[in-house]
Structure formats: structure tokens, C-alpha cells
Chains A and B, each alone.
Chain A
Amino acid sequence: MNALVALRLAVAGGREQQFRRAFTATGVGVAGALLLLAFSAPNAAFGRAERVSWQDAATAVVDGEVADPPAEKRDGALFLAVSDYFAGTPMTRAYVAALGADPPVPPGIDRLPGPGEIAVSPAMRRLLAATPDDQLDDRFPGRDTMTIGPAGLAHDNELVAIIGRAPDELRDVRSVGEVHGFFRTAPRVGILSLQAAGIGVGTVLVLVPVLFLVVIVTRVAAGQQERRLASLRLVGATRAQTALVAATETGLAAGVGALLAWGGYEVGRRVLAATVVFQRGHFWPGDVAVPGWELAIVLVGLPAAAVATTLASLWHVQVSPLSVHRRVRRAPPTAWSALPLAIGVAGLLALVPLRDRRTAETLAQLRPVLALLTVAGVVLVGPWLCMLAARGVARVSRRAPALLAARRIAYDPRATFRAVAAVALAAMAAAYLGSTADRPGPPAGEEAKRIPPGVVRINTGGVPLDLPSAVRRVDSPDYDVPTDGSLAAENRVRTSVADRVPNAIVNTDRDPVDYHLETLFADFDRLGAVAALFVLLIGACGLTAGVIGGLAERRRPFALLRASGVRVGELRLVVLIETVATMLVTSLLGVGLGLVAAYATTRGAGLVWTGAGLPVLGAVGAGTLAALVFTLFALPLVGATTRHDAVRYE
């Protein structure tokens, strides 16, 4: 049998085969699109950080803690970037002065603004136009001659201005650095390293439910396929030839699914870029994307995984010319299956108290391995838990639907868990992603340092401030300027200070206490909730696919029960109990383990972990409920698949 014959046989077949192929293609399409969109998230975060990394050039040169940006031009430039606020919204005020004819240029503009010129972001231009000059424009003296493009902006709403100055005007200003280039990539330290660790573990947690989804959609109605292969064996096909037919059939369907995934991803990433707001701005569409090699791996890898699943499942059955039977009946899961999970969780918790930095850095390499072991542990222990739960339900059940559901779970706990595994892992991923970077608790005494309403507090770094209304604080080098509390008054003070001490740090009670970090963590709460819902969507798809697959397998027994007078509602109840019982048990386990992993990661990174936020737990609960509601769409199929014709034919 050559490949063409295999192809012909693979595309032949009736409605059952068409349903199988469409189901596999759709499942792989959904799985692939969701996976690609999930993989886009880290790129979006890092892409945003990279676009504004140019602002750190002077800090690197002056502080010397990180390497200077690579030299790009022969001549240098004096540079200073200052954080500022407008009504609590962060803005960046950068000063620049060319030191020759060929100075380095930040991304987003094509030349340095000269003395008396300013380059502004579109959002800043709108703000300048809408605000009286004495409150804001005077803080950015010069002619607006340039627009900063997306290459130099984190997002479309970022407030940035680059003010051109003569070298003499900047030379003596504190914190100004002479730079010969600007960062184009962000060093992945600090928050970014936490993000990277979180995203690494999160990727595993997303990948596993997706693979489960692929396995479920590939294995749907496998019994019919195996019987079909047996009929091929009857006419002389070898085991290898039947495997070729099965692999071709799955490969074709999954290949179509990969194309659907690509299309879904291209649409989805544009929708996400246009709708998701993170740190006050939308993502640039170019950032919500995966690199070409990642796209290729997913689009080739998922069909390959589907084909591998088909071949692996064929290995477990002996397809003879007259029948299909299992090679061996698998032993029921035992308590030993909990061992990997116990090791994974114990290992994660054991790393937490290690405060020594070098030891912690070395052992931090273990964290993804332990996280992976924990995820694998959930996969291994899930069937055992399902079996225990089912036995318990069977023992106490008084109604036939509950007994049927419990016996079904206990009969093949691995298949049952496969159907709900995606939700359990998704709940784990959601709890983890949503609570990893929780809002840090205020340091001791922080409350005492809060700025009273109506006061503008100024830190000049020791530079005397020549401002009549400024009062030097007794206990610190800061100055306080009392105002009437209006935004206009505050901005007049900010503008006056910027004119006198360009690099002064100016704050009021309108600004987030922890500046940038506070908004970052607050947004992470929200992003965590979005991620939770997103990952649970993968789980919901897996759950629905599992329910439909289970129905396809039991079409005839269910149809015969219905013919014997069992009501469709009772059959639906059986399916619902199977799903709800196992989903609840495994999802609770998943949430618990997700929180443990999040605690270990956050504490391991030296941050304060304040537990899962209500938005995250709410999102996990709502998502799990939504996953369940999602499966309700599959329940009408119980009626459709158990009609009269299923009594007579398979």
C-alpha cells in the first residue's frame, strides 16, 4: 500500500469519519490558536519593555550597575530621562544634547532634537494641547518639531517628550550621562526576571492543557476507527499499513486544524492588541506575536503530536482481521501516583526559605523543573483521585444516574481525567499566573511617609531648591510645597521645579505610592484575571471535547438505554454528574497547587506574597463555572446521538 492509497482510504468514509476529521481539525485549530496567543503574551511584555529601554541609557552610564548601552555612533550625546506625573499618570521627560554631528538617536525618531526643539509622543501632544501652558507646556520648552514613533513608545497612550538642549545647558545637571548608544533590548533583570520565571512556568501550564486537548480530539471515537482498521486487516493490510492509514487520516485533519490555528491566531492577536489595556495603553500589534520559528514549531508540532497520539493508541490495541482488543488491561491507578506530586510540591516549598542570594540563584534553576514535576504529578495523580471520588459516589449513590456516572468514572479513571484534566490544569495555571505577581505589601512605616493631600513633595537629590514656597522637611532632604490641592496648582509647582532642577523627583498623593511598580502590580492583578480566563477557555474546550468524545464512544449503549425507556434527561444527568464530580475534585486540587507554586515563585524572588487576590479567585471560579456551562452546549448531543438509528447501526 502506497501513500496515495492510504490517502484515498483516509479521506473515504461516511458521516462518522467526517465527524471525526472535522472534530480533530477544529480541536487542533482551537488548541493551536490559543497556544500561539498564549505564547504571544511574553513577547508582548518583553516587546513593550524593549521599546522603552532607551530611557535607561543615562542611568546605566551614571550608576554603573549594568553595562552601558553598546556604542552606536562616533559622537556622543548628553542624556537624562526623568519620571514625572500628570494627574497620577506617569510621563517621561527626556533631555538630550548632541556632542557632535553624528550623535546616537533613540528609537522612534530619526534625529536628535536640537536646542529649542522637542519631540513628543502623540498622546503627549494631545495632553499639551488640552492643558494651559503654565501647567505643562512650560515644562517642555521648545518647538514641537517631531513625533516619537511606536519604536520608542511602550504603548499608544504613553506620555513622552524629548527636549533638545545645548550641551552647556545639561553638562552640569546631576544624573546626566554621556551616551554613545541607546538600549534596544531590555536587560531581563528585576521585575523582568520575575516575569520571565513566571512566564516560563506559566508556559508549561498552558502547554499541557493544550496537549491534552489535542489528545482528546484525536482520540474521539477511536473505537470506530479501530474497527475500520480491523476491516482493512481482513482484506490483507499489514499492521504497518493500517498504521499508515490512521496516521494519514489524523495528519490530514490535524493539518487542516493547523491552518485554522494560524488563521485564528492572526485574527486573535489583532483583536487582543486592539482591546487589551495594560499599564494604560494597548499593545502594538507587532508585539502581540510569536517569532517565526515558534509559529513553525506550533503549526508543525501540533499535527505531529496528533499523529503520535494516534500511533501510540494503536500500539495499545491489537487490530486483528476479526476484532480489536486491548493488548493488556491497564491496572487501576494506585496511591503511588501521588509521589511525583509530593516531591514537586515539597521541593518548591523547600526553596522558599533560602535567602542567600547565590544559593537562591543556583537553586532557582530547579524551580521550573520542580514546577514541571508538579504539573506531571497532577496528571499522574488525577486518575487516582477520580477513581477514589467515583468509588465514594458509587457507595452512597441511590439514584441510577449517579451510579452510572460513578461506575463510568471508576471503570476508566484515566479517560475520565483526560476529559477534565485541561480544566484542572487550567485552574492551576490560572491560580498560578494570577497570583504570582501580587501587589507587594507596603514596607514598614510606609504609611507614615504618605504625602498629605495638597502637598507637593520634592526630592532634589541634595541640590538646593530656589523656590520661595518650598519648605525643607525636618527629617529628610525633601522639600514640601503646600498648595490649594488643585491639579492646576500642583502642575505649576512641577513645572517650576523642572525648570530649576530637571532631575528632581516630584510627587503628590495623586501618584501611586510605589510609583511605577504599584501600577505594574495592579495591572498584573487584572492581567492575571484575563490570563486565568484565557487558560480556562483552553480547559473548557478540552472539557467539551472530552464530553463529546465520551458520547461518541457510548452512542450505542446510551441509545439502547433510551430505547428501553431511559429518559434523555437522565442520560444528560449521567454525563453532567461525570463531568461535575471529577471537575470539582481535580480543579480544587489544581487551584491549591497553583497557589502553592505561586507562593514559592513569589517568595523565592524576594517579594511579599499576599495570597491570591479576589479578582483572581473570582476569575478562576467564574472560569470553572464557564467551562461547565460551555459543556452544557454538548448536552443536546445526547439526544441527537442516541436516536433510533443508533440502536440498529454503529
Chain B
Amino acid sequence: MLLTGRDLHKSFGSAYALRGAGVTLTKGEVVAVMGPSGSGKSTLLHCLAGILRPDSGEVWFADRRIDDLPDRDRAQLRRTAFGFVFQFGQLVPELPAVENVALPLLLAGRRRRDALAAGREWLRRLGLDGLDGRMPGELSGGESQRVALARALVAAPAVVFADEPTGALDSVAADQVMELLVDAAHAQGTSVLLVTHEPRVAAFADRTVLVRDGRDTAPVGAG
């Protein structure tokens, strides 16, 4: 297993978000986590990605337990091994598209010229040729999410965590984004953990896990 979450519990004050949920992910696999609003699926993703530390339970990544790592080490893991796509607002508004994509590489200390070249290449691969210099405010919702996908994938992460990546898009744009995400992930062997409440989006995944009241229930079949 590349990533495993077991018996995860997490509460915020008196509100329980996770009550024993878990999920596994193998290399190159695309898994969708589905559930109604408030079921705990986003919290599960945040615990698996090391953004949140679970109250109890374990998270393992590449045979290494990561839930008990200090915040600094988890941050290091997120920037080197994971990529992220959120529903909206993830692009830095002051950076043009190409620099938004290149940002993870720049943060990792790559030379600027190389980072920008990689950014341009990913924009081209995702059908965003010619939009290098566009600011996020000048992009459509679908274009913004594709830039976000490029940014999540540019550093060749082991896992991409996508939290409602199509939540703000119409169905055509959503399908386009999902196709690109899954194709790109498969092409470079990246695993994807996808959180969504839309069956249409979940259908792009290899496997779906249903979360309800903070617990994972039986898998609902392969995509």
C-alpha cells in the first residue's frame, strides 16, 4: 500500500467529524471518497494528507507512519510527495498562470528558468497553451482548475489529494478536468485521492469509498 489510514478519529470541540474512518491507496490508483455534506470526507482527506493530525488512528505513507510526525515534517512531506487541488481560490491571485504552476518547483529550490519551463509544459499538456501570462482573475473557472491541476502535478508527487475539484464547475468543464486529472495521474503513476459528493465525478475513479457519519462503509464498486 502507498497510503493507508486506519481507524481515524477526529473531533472539533464537541463535534465529531471522524469516528473510525479509514482508506487505502495503492500506487497509481484513483480512489474517490464520497458522502453527503458533513459526513467527514474532507476531514478524512486532510488527515490522510497530513494537514490535520487525527485524535487517534494511524496514517501510513510509503511504509512510514506520518500522523505522529511533527508539523514541520508533515509540511515537508506535503510539499515534496503530495499535490493538492481544492474547490476554488487556490491560485495565488498575483501570480500569472505559469508562475502559479511553477510555484512548487520554486519552493523546492529549482532554478527559475527550469521551473517556468516545466510550468509551460504542464500548461500545454492540459490544453492551456497561450495562457502562461494570464492572471487567475482573467481565467474561467475551468481554466483555473486546470491550472490548479498542473500545479498539483508539476512536481510529480506520489499522491494528489483533490477536494471537490469540480465543485465550482459546470458538468462539461467538470468532465474535462476529471479526464485530465485521471489521465495525467495514470501517465506518471501518481495516485489520486478524490473527495466528491457527485457520483458523476466519482465515476472517473478506479474505486469508491463511501463515508457516512465519520465512518467508512463498504466500497461501492470499481469505476
Contact = CB atoms under 8 A, between A and B. Distances in A.
B223 interface: no
A566 B74 CA distance: 11
Contacts of B77: 565
A407 B106 contact: no
Interface in A375-428: 397-400, 403-404, 407-408, 410-412
Contacts of B79: 564-566
A63 B168 CA distance: 86
Interface string B81-95: 011101001111111
A648 B44 CA distance: 13
Contacts of A397: 112
Nearest to A650: B89
B205 interface: no
Given A563-B78, A648-B42, A557 B90 contact: yes
Contacts of B96: 407
B140 interface: no
A411 B135 contact: yes
Interface string A635-650: 0000000001001101
A643 to B, nearest CB: 10
Interface string A538-566: 00000000000000000011001111111
Nearest to B104: A564
Contact of A560 (B83, B86, B135): B86
Nearest to B49: A563
A567 interface: yes
Nearest to A408: B94
B46 interface: yes
Contacts of B46: 563, 644, 647
A570 interface: yes
Contact of B51 (A398, A410, A570, A644): A644
B52 interface: yes
A358 to B, nearest CB: 56
Contact of A565 (B76, B106, B112): B76
Interface string B154-180: 000000000000000000000000000
Contact of B92 (A398, A399, A404, A648): A404
B62 interface: no
B3 to A, nearest CB: 16
Nearest to B88: A556
Given A563-B78, A567-B75, A557 B99 contact: no
B52 A407 contact: no
Given A400-B107, A403-B106, A570-B107, A564 B84 contact: yes
B136 to A, nearest CB: 9
A411 B79 CA distance: 26
Interface string B101-122: 0011011000110000000000
B56 interface: no
A557 B75 contact: no
B178 to A, nearest CB: 20
Nearest to B151: A564
A299 to B, nearest CB: 38
Given A400-B103, A556-B89, A564-B104, A410 B52 contact: no
Contacts of B103: 400, 404, 561
A399 B108 CA distance: 9
Given A399-B106, A644-B52, A561 B75 contact: no
A648 B43 CA distance: 10
Given A408-B94, A557-B91, A647 B86 contact: yes
B80 interface: yes
A567 B72 contact: yes
Contacts of B135: 411
Nearest to B89: A556
By secondary structure, the A interface counts as helix
Interface in B42-76: 42, 46, 49, 51-52, 72, 75-76
A566 to B, nearest CB: 6
Contacts of A404: 92, 94-95, 103
B195 to A, nearest CB: 12
A565 B92 contact: no
Nearest to A566: B107
Of B94, B95, B104, B135, most A-chain CB atoms within 10 Å: B94
Nearest to B148: A560
A570 B111 CA distance: 17
A646 to B, nearest CB: 10
Nearest to A411: B94
A647 B52 CA distance: 11
A269 B53 CA distance: 52
A198 B135 CA distance: 47
Given A399-B106, A407-B99, A410-B94, A565 B72 contact: no
Most buried by A among B46, B75, B82, B83: B75
A403 B111 CA distance: 13
Nearest to B46: A644
A450 B135 CA distance: 71
A400 B51 contact: no
B112 A407 contact: no
Given A563-B84, A566-B79, A648-B42, A403 B89 contact: no
A556 B52 CA distance: 16
Contacts of A399: 106
B19 to A, nearest CB: 19
Contacts of A648: 42
B94 A560 contact: no
A359 B46 CA distance: 75
A557 B89 CA distance: 6
A565 B80 contact: yes
B100 to A, nearest CB: 10
Given A570-B107, A647-B86, A565 B75 contact: yes
Given A563-B78, A565-B75, A565-B80, A411 B107 contact: no
A562 B104 CA distance: 12
A411 B133 CA distance: 13
A588 to B, nearest CB: 24
Contacts of B86: 560, 647
Contacts of A408: 94
A397 B116 CA distance: 13
Contacts of B49: 563
A581 to B, nearest CB: 14
B76 A557 contact: no
A647 B163 CA distance: 11
Given A398-B112, A404-B94, A648-B42, A560 B89 contact: yes
Nearest to B106: A400
A5 to B, nearest CB: 31
A285 B42 CA distance: 62
6 contacts: A400-B106, A403-B106, A408-B94, A557-B93, A647-B46, A647-B51
Complex A-B, nearest 4 residue pairs according to Cβ-Cβ distance, in ascending order: A565-B79, A565-B78, A411-B94, A400-B106
Given A404-B95, A565-B79, A650-B89, 14 more contacts: A398-B112, A400-B106, A400-B107, A403-B95, A403-B112, A407-B94, A411-B93, A557-B90, A564-B78, A564-B79, A564-B84, A565-B76, A565-B107, A647-B86
